[in-house]
Amino acid sequence: MKNIINRLAEDHVLSRDEFRELLTNITDEEQEYLAEKAREVRHQVYGYDVYTRGLIEFTNYCKNDCYYCGIRRSNQNASRYRLTEEDILECCKVGYELGFRTFVLQGGEDGYFTDERLEDMIRSIKRDYSDCAITLSVGERSYDSYKRLFDAGADRYLLRHETANEEHYGKLHPKELSLHNRKQCLIHLKNIGYQVGCGFMVGSPGQTVDNLIDDLEYIKELEPHMVGIGPFIPHKDTPFADQTQGTLEMTLRLLSIIRLMNPRVLLPATTALGTIHPLGREKGILAGANVVMPNLSPTDVRKKYMLYDNKICTGDEAAECRMCLAWRMENKGYHLVVERGDYKI
Ligand code: SAH
C-alpha cells in the first residue's frame, strides 16, 4: 500500500486497480501515511496558510429537483427567500471587515436572477471591494451568460459535477438534467477564463467505488482549480431522507488523494464535513485541504438554506463563525490569511 501512496505522490496518477486498492483496502495506519504525504505537498505549495471564502447564500429558490437537495423545487416545506442587492452588499461589508477577500455567491437556480441582475450585483461588489475575488455558484447557465458574468467581474465558478458516471448521475437527478450538460458547462467556464471548481458528494446514494474512480479520473482530465467534496447527508424532505450519510474516513481519504493528484488544487474542508463530525473541518485540513468557507449569510435566512439536515453554524453571526474557525485552525498549527487566495500557477 505504501508503494501505491508513494507513486501517487510522485506521478500524481494511478491505474484504476490501484485507486480501487487505495479506496477499499487501506488500514488506519496507511490512511495516516496518505494524509501525511498530502500535508507535505500542501505545505510545499501553500505553507500553513488557510484561505477563507465568505459564503453568501443569496437565494434558495430553485427550478431543479435534485433528489438529494433540501432546496429542490418539490420541497413544499422549504421557506423560500431571496436577498436584495443591498442585503448582499451588507454581507460583503461585514465580511470585508472580518478579513474575507473572497465572496462566494451561492444559490439555487433561480430565474429571478437574470444576467442583468447578477451583472449589476457583481459590478457593485467589485466597485466597493476591488481587491476581492467573486466566486459564483449558481448552477447551469448558457455560455453567453457565463461570459457576461465573467466580463462583469466574476473571477471563479463552483459547479460540482456531482458524479462523473452517467448511470449514477441518473440516480441522483431527474431526467431533465444530464451529466453531459453539466460537463459542458464546466468546459465553457474554463474556456472563458474562470478559475473553476468541480466536485462531488461522498457516499451519495448508489455510489460505488467504481463511480469514485470515475470521479478521480474526471478530475484528472478536467484539471480544475478547485475541488469541492463533502459527505452526502440526507435531508428529511427529500426522496433520499432514509439513505445513509457518507463517512468521515472516505471523505478524508479522497481529500488526500485529490491533493496528491493535483498539488496546487484549492481544496475546502466543507461545512458538510464539519456537520458529520465535530472536528471534521480540522481533520479535513490535516488530510490536505487548504480552504474553509464560513457562512456570511444574514442570520435570519441561514436556517432556510438547508441543503441537508443538521447543518452547522446556522445560528451564528458571521463574526462568531470567523473567530471559531480561526481558533480551530490555530489549534492545529494553521492560520487563516487575509488574502484572495488564488490558485497558485
Ligand atoms: N445550485 C448550485 C449550488 C448547489 S448547492 C449548483 O447547482 O451548483 C452546492 C452543493 O451542495 C451541491 O453541488 C451539492 O453537491 C451539495 N449538496 C446538496 N445537497 C446535499 C446533501 N444532501 N448532502 C451533502 N451535500 C449536498
Among the atoms of ligand 1, which is closest to the Cα of residue 240?
Answer: 22
CA of 69 to the centre of ligand 1 (A): 6
CA of 308 to the centre of ligand 1 (A): 9
For 111, the 3-state DSSP assignment is coil
Q: Which residue has the cell 431527474?
A: 174
Instruction: Please check whether residue 251 is in contact with residue 212, taking contact to mean a CB–CB distance below 8 angstroms.
Output: no
Q: Which residue has the cell 426522496?
A: 239
201 lines ligand 1 (CB under 6 A): yes
307 lines ligand 1 (CB under 6 A): yes
Among the atoms of ligand 1, which is closest to the Cα of residue 231?
Answer: 24
The contacts of residue 330 (CB under 8 Å, 6+ apart) are: none
Alpha carbons 131 and 66: distance in angstroms, whole number: 35
Locate the domains of the chain by residue range.
2-54+155-337
CA of 22 to the centre of ligand 1 (A): 26
Alpha carbons 308 and 69: distance in angstroms, whole number: 7
Alpha carbons 294 and 35: distance in angstroms, whole number: 23
137 lines ligand 1 (CB under 6 A): yes
pLDDT at position 261 is: 98
pLDDT at position 231 is: 98
57 lines ligand 1 (CB under 6 A): no
- Tell me the per-residue pLDDT of 128-172, one tens digit each, with 9 for 90 and over: 999 999 999 999 999 999 999 999 999 999 999 999 999 999 999
Alpha carbons 18 and 16: distance in angstroms, whole number: 5
What are the residue ranges in the chain where pLDDT is below 50? none
CATH pick for 2-54+155-337 out of 3.40.50.1820, 3.20.20.70, 2.20.25.90, 3.40.50.720: 3.20.20.70
Query: Ligand 1 test: best mutation among 308, 309, 312, most atoms within 8 Å of CB?
Result: 308
196 lines ligand 1 (CB under 6 A): no
pLDDT at position 345 is: 83
| Integer angstrom CA distances of residue 261 from 18, 108, 190, 228 | 13, 30, 19, 14
Q: At what angle do helices 115-128 and 143-152 cross, to 10 degrees?
A: 20
Alpha carbons 140 and 182: distance in angstroms, whole number: 7
Alpha carbons 206 and 36: distance in angstroms, whole number: 30
- Tell me the per-residue pLDDT of 72-84, one tens digit each, with 9 for 90 and over: 999 999 999 999 9
Alpha carbons 249 and 129: distance in angstroms, whole number: 39
CA of 182 to the centre of ligand 1 (A): 13
237 lines ligand 1 (CB under 6 A): no
Instruction: Please check whether residue 229 is in contact with residue 255, taking contact to mean a CB–CB distance below 8 angstroms.
Output: yes
